[in-house]
Amino acid sequence: MPRSHGRRAALVHPDASEFDVLDVLHALSDPTRMTIVQTLRADPERACGTFPVDVAPSTLTHHFRVLRETGVIRQREDGNRRWTTLRLEDLDARFPGLLDAIVSAYDHQTDPASA
């Protein structure tokens, strides 16, 4: 059945037991997606249009989908806004310390003061 105008497709959120480490690593290999994750570490919930990234809306939607379908983020709809949170507890339960290690390595790599 075709989707009616104005209705979004249902959001897919895997159970933590379904997380795959290689999928998570792939999701976190993109600088835009890392910016989204770092933003959520500082601000636990944000509306989708408020992230400090410079990409087209359709590209941002793609990045959110990759993060959501691998279990890195959770999104919820509230009226015409979509809110995003980091699934840190679920990630830490499945892969203890993985997200912290990746974010730390990324920060070290991208911080000119640490070079």
Place of tokens 């690593």: 25
- pLDDT tens for the chain, 115 residues: list them: 444 455 667 888 999 999 999 999 999 999 999 999 999 999 999 999 999 999 999 999 999 999 999 999 999 999 889 999 999 999 999 999 999 999 999 988 887 665 5
Predicted pLDDT of residue 114: 55
For 34, residues 6+ apart whose C-beta sits below 8 A from its C-beta are: 28, 103, 106
Inter-residue contact 70 to 20 (CB < 8 Å)? yes
Which strands sit side by side in the sheet containing 45-47, from one edge to the other?
Answer: 45-47, 81-86, 73-78
